[in-house]
């Protein structure tokens, strides 16, 4: 049982109405120029919030959210971990880096079994996002694993590459392929080995589905990686260049699956006795392919045609509650005592809602990488199915439907706290389509405005923030040439308190205005607790508000 101490009655007892926490996914604070969809869009609601007294900016990347350095962009999973946990935990990239640097990964039983399975005529396969974006994966972690496998006697290895173009420049696949081909050539020469790229495809249509939104994406990956079915080419570079030539507007994340063949046969199908390592450290887009490998005869999401008996492992455990995958190389962050656990134990009824693309973020990641409810008697989780369409084709996404549901939930009087994610700024921002991103931001602004009206009517409080930036930089310019920017940004994100009954009882704290130890997303949890009338746990990051003494 987790307990909280109430703030003294003469300090702040909270407002009569609910507290609503709105996460505007991908809405950062960037330069006020025409590359910034947040700035270009008409946003009367956000303009008022950003100019109000109860406002500050938060760090949503780098060390503030548990990443190795401040050059590392944040992401939605890490951002929601920080929002829910109230503290900073070392995250996937940092944990994997440490495991490689100390060689603890290679000393573990999972690595040893993966290597052992790949000997005696068998093959070791690596599948994952092929870039240095450091959001889902990093090829700087793949290369030491390839080299170590060769050092330990693996003679045959195949790499199945998922093209990025989302966390890195939209057309950068050939750069990464060249780097990897060079590493593979060096290994082959030094160890008389046979290490090659065997298959691939764009991440948004091959293998990396999430939240079971579209299993056909995983099926396409299974056919390419496991069965060797797909459009054939002599090399990965030839595959990418051919698809570029066929469609000048093609970007890496949407390139079709391909298979490398030699003498008419695929060079790297996955067979009985092989080992497979999925090298994404981030969980959301790694879970479904892991289920396909680990699912056994009960798996029914698509016809796998042939299911080889392999030793499958992830670089990390992607779902601790569901134990996916069964084997993993590096232990994930152990996040305990999320602030909603405290609220549940204090009897605070709450809801969480988003559309499919971000539903896991306001539930699983928010709750410290734990599936299911904390306390079903205290919580309501609601998912609105996302459209199966490229997001710039429907940039309003499900924001209106989410807003309608939230308004009904607030008006019901059942809930004291609610959280939601509006995915538009991130998912549309990833497309690089400026016009669509502006519509996305304007939709978010309108929806936030509608919810604030209800919060005002109910004498509640709203907090409006974001998990990271994205649509705040939609393109970059070099030598007069503009290039779409589809990746997250390193910009800070807004933090706004909307309190219609505000009468000077509190103000932004020293933590909120600290320009040296700048506040981050993990400061939000203590702030929510305070505004609900509770003291935060002592080891939580400081609140962004401080109350005036009477």
Per residue of the chain (550 residues), what is the pLDDT tens digit?
Answer: 889 999 877 789 899 999 999 999 999 999 999 999 999 999 999 999 999 999 999 999 999 998 888 888 888 989 999 999 999 998 888 899 999 999 999 999 999 999 999 999 999 999 999 999 998 999 999 999 999 999 999 999 999 999 999 999 999 999 999 999 999 999 999 999 999 999 999 999 999 998 788 999 999 999 999 999 999 999 999 999 999 999 999 999 999 999 999 999 999 999 999 999 999 998 889 999 999 999 989 999 999 999 999 999 999 988 766 789 999 999 878 899 999 999 999 999 999 999 999 999 999 999 998 989 999 999 999 999 999 899 999 999 999 999 999 999 999 999 999 999 999 999 999 999 999 999 999 999 999 999 999 999 999 999 999 999 999 999 998 888 888 888 889 999 999 999 999 999 999 999 999 888 899 999 999 999 999 999 999 999 999 999 987 6
Catalytic residue among 8, 9, 69, 76: 76
What is the per-residue DSSP string for 429-457?
Answer: GGGT-HHHHHHHHHHHHHHHHHHHHHHHH
What does the alpha-carbon distance between residue 394 and residue 428 come to, in Å, rounded to a whole number?
9
- Tokens found for residue 60: 């949503």
Count of CA atoms in the C-beta half-sphere (13 A) of 524: 38
- Paired with 199 in beta bridges are 160, 259
Look at residue 165 in the predicted model and tell me its pLDDT.
Answer: 96
Q: What domains are defined for the chain? A: 19-90+336-547 (3.40.720.10), 93-330 (3.40.1450.10)
What is the per-residue DSSP string for 39-102?
Answer: HHS--HHHHHHHTSSSEEEEB-SGGGGT-SSTTS---HHHHHHHHHHSS----HHHHHHHHHHT
Look at residue 321 in the predicted model and tell me its pLDDT.
Answer: 61
Q: What is the DSSP letter of 391?
A: G
Reply yes or no on whether 76 is catalytic.
yes
What does the alpha-carbon distance between residue 333 and residue 56 come to, in Å, rounded to a whole number?
28
- Tokens found for residue 96: 């994997």
Beta strands (DSSP E) in 283-408 are 311-316, 328-330, 350-355, 379-384
Is the bond into 325 cis (omega within 30 degrees of 0)?
yes
What sign for the dihedral angle of Cα 353, 357, 360, 361? negative
Q: For residue 263, how many other CB atoms are within 10 A of its CB?
A: 5
Q: What stretch of H or E contains 109?
A: helix 109-117
Look at residue 550 in the predicted model and tell me its pLDDT.
Answer: 60
Q: For residue 300, how many other CB atoms are within 10 A of its CB?
A: 9
- Which SS3 state, helix, strand or coil, does residue 410 take? helix
Look at residue 333 in the predicted model and tell me its pLDDT.
Answer: 80
Q: What is the DSSP letter of 214?
A: -
Look at residue 118 in the predicted model and tell me its pLDDT.
Answer: 96
What does the alpha-carbon distance between residue 138 and residue 125 come to, in Å, rounded to a whole number?
16
Look at residue 359 in the predicted model and tell me its pLDDT.
Answer: 96
Q: For residue 169, how many other CB atoms are within 10 A of its CB?
A: 21
What does the alpha-carbon distance between residue 27 and residue 448 come to, in Å, rounded to a whole number?
13
What does the alpha-carbon distance between residue 379 and residue 351 come to, in Å, rounded to a whole number?
5
- Tokens found for residue 521: 């997303």
Look at residue 8 in the predicted model and tell me its pLDDT.
Answer: 79
């Amino acid at each position: 049982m987790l307990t909280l101490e109430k703030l003294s009655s003469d300090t702040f007892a909270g407002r009569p109405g609910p507290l609503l926490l709105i996460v505007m996914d991908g809405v950062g604070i960037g330069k006020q120029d025409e590359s910034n969809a947040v700035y270009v869009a008409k946003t009367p609601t956000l303009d008022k919030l950003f100019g109000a007294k109860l406002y500050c900016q938060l760090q949503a990347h780098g060390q503030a959210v548990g990443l190795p350095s401040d050059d590392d962009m944040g992401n939605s999973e890490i951002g929601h971990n920080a929002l829910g946990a109230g503290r900073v935990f070392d995250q996937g990239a940092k944990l994997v880096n440490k495991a490689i640097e100390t060689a603890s990964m290679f000393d573990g039983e999972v690595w040893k079994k993966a290597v052992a399975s790949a000997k005696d005529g068998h093959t070791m396969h690596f599948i994952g996002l092929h870039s240095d974006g450091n959001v889902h994966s990093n090829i700087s972690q793949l290369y030491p694993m390839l080299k170590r496998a060769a050092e330990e006697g693996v003679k045959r290895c195949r790499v199945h590459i998922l093209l990025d173009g989302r966390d890195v420049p939209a057309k950068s696949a050939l750069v990464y392929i060249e780097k990897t081909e060079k590493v593979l050539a060096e290994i082959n020469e030094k160890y008389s080995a046979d290490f090659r790229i065997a298959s691939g495809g764009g991440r948004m249509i091959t293998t990396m589905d999430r939240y079971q939104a579209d299993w056909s994406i995983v099926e396409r990956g299974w056919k390419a990686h496991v069965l060797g079915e797909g459009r054939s080419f002599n090399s990965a570079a030839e595959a990418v260049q051919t698809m570029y030539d066929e469609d000048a507007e093609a970007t890496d994340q949407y390139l079709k699956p391909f298979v490398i063949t030699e003498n008419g046969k695929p060079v790297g199908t996955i067979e009985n006795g092989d080992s497979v390592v999925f090298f994404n450290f981030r969980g959301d887009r790694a879970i479904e392919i892991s289920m396909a490998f680990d699912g056994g005869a009960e798996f029914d999401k698509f016809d796998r045609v042939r299911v080889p008996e392999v030793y499958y492992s992830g670089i990390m455990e992607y779902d601790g509650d569901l134990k996916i995958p069964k084997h993993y190389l590096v232990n994930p962050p152990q996040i305990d005592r999320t602030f909603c656990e405290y609220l549940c134990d204090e009897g605070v009824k709450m809801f969480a809602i988003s559309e499919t693309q971000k539903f896991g973020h306001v539930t699983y990641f928010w709750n410290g990488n734990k599936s299911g409810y904390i306390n079903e008697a205290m919580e309501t989780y609601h998912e609105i199915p996302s459209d199966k369409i490229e997001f710039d084709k429907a940039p309003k996404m499900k924001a209106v439907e989410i807003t309608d549901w939230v308004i009904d939930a607030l008006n019901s009087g059942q809930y004291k706290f609610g959280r939601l994610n509006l995915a538009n700024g991130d998912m549309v921002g990833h497309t690089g389509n400026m016009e669509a991103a502006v519509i996305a931001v304007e939709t978010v602004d309108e929806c936030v405005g509608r919810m604030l009206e209800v919060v005002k009517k109910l004498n509640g409080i709203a907090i409006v923030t974001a998990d990271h930036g994205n649509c705040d930089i939609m393109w970059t310019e070099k030598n007069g040439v503009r290039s779409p920017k589809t990746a997250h940004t390193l910009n800070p994100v807004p933090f706004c308190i909307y309190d219609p009954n505000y009468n000077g009882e509190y103000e932004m704290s020293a933590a909120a205005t600290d320009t040296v130890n700048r506040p981050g997303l993990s400061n939000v949890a203590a702030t929510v607790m305070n505004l609900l009338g509770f003291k935060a746990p002592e080891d939580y990051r400081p609140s962004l508000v401080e109350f005036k003494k009477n």
